[in-house]
């Protein structure tokens, strides 16, 4: 499998620090370095042709298998639908990006200047993809058991949060399910305003149900603002009920 060229001594120090903080051990630092290389970086540095997309694809599969197996074994009385719902929350972009932030993967990522200047290190998709790529790299560098141990170490606490209903809620989904059940309709989202430069935008979104404004939400992108608005609307409808 082709990988990036061997990282220099300064970069190796950064990778070793990451190993120390995560408990991982890599034999091939080029593989770990590739897992942290966004496509925008390889586009600007022809000598580093490989980015982390293929590793992210592999890591996603490893992650899914590990979480599915764990849930199947520890929750023998749960139906398939319940297991699928728990898994979708645990391996969501929201959940993985928070873990990636805790592991300081944001500091380790290599990205192009354009992506960097547009706030790439804070983008949830990039962080989640980076974590999945590292899982894929761990699997290739060691074996499935090592990758499995790492995944369980970082995700079992998240699984427990979901089982204890202490996880961060996906209010857009909750609101849609509630509105469909109670009112036989769907929520609609509108942009109220967007302010600030491209790299530091602030959005205000409104959620409308049956032509009535049910809540406003603010966020650094549309998704965050919609989630905030949905949370307000969900709690409002719940209180009415």
| Domain ranges in the chain with CATH number 3.30.160.20 | 171-240
Share of the chain above pLDDT 90, in %: 68
pLDDT in tens, 5-26: 688 899 999 999 999 999 999 9
Note if the pTM is more than 0.85. no
pLDDT in tens, 171-220: 888 899 889 888 889 999 999 999 998 878 899 999 999 999 999 999 98
CATH class of domain segment(s) 9-163:
mainly alpha
| Domain ranges in the chain with CATH number 1.10.1520.10 | 9-163
Q: Which residues carry out catalysis?
A: 60, 132
The yes-or-no verdict on residue 4 having pLDDT over 80 is no
- Using CB atoms within 10 Å of the CB of residue 223, give its burial: 0 to 12 exposed, 13 to 18 middle, 19+ buried: middle
Instruction: Output the CA angle 135-166-222, nearest 5 degrees.
Output: 70
Query: Each residue of 87-104: b (16+ CB within 10 Å) or e?
Result: bebbbbebbbbbbbbebe
* Residues 191/103, Cβ–Cβ less than 8 Å: no
pLDDT in tens, 124-142: 899 999 999 999 999 999 9
Q: What kind of architecture, by CATH, is found in domain 171-240?
A: 2-Layer Sandwich (3.30)
């Amino acid at each position: 499998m082709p990988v990036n060229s061997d990282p220099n001594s300064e970069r190796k120090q950064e990778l070793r620090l990451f190993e120390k903080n995560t408990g991982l051990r890599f034999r091939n630092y080029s593989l770990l370095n590739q897992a942290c290389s966004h496509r925008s970086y390889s586009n600007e540095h022809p000598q580093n042709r490989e980015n982390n997309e293929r590793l992210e694809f592999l890591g996603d599969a490893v992650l899914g298998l590990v979480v599915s197996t764990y849930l199947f074994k520890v929750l023998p009385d749960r139906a398939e639908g319940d297991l699928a719902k728990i898994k979708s929350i645990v391996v969501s972009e929201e959940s993985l990006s928070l873990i990636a932030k805790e592991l300081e993967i944001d500091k380790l990522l290599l990205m192009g200047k354009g992506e960097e200047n547009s706030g790439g290190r804070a983008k949830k998709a990039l962080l989640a993809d980076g974590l999945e790529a590292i899982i894929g790299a761990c699997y290739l560098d060691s074996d499935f058991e090592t990758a499995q141990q790492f995944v369980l170490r970082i995700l079992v606490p998240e699984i427990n949060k979901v089982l204890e209903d202490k996880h961060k809620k996906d209010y857009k989904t909750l609101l849609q399910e509630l509105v469909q059940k109670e009112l036989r309709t769907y929520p609609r989202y509108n942009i109220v305003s967007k302010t600030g430069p491209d790299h530091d935008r602030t959005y205000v979104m409104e959620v409308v149900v049956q032509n009535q404004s049910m809540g406003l939400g603010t966020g650094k992108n549309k998704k965050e603002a919609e989630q905030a608005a949905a949370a307000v609307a969900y709690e409002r409808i719940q209180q009415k009920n």
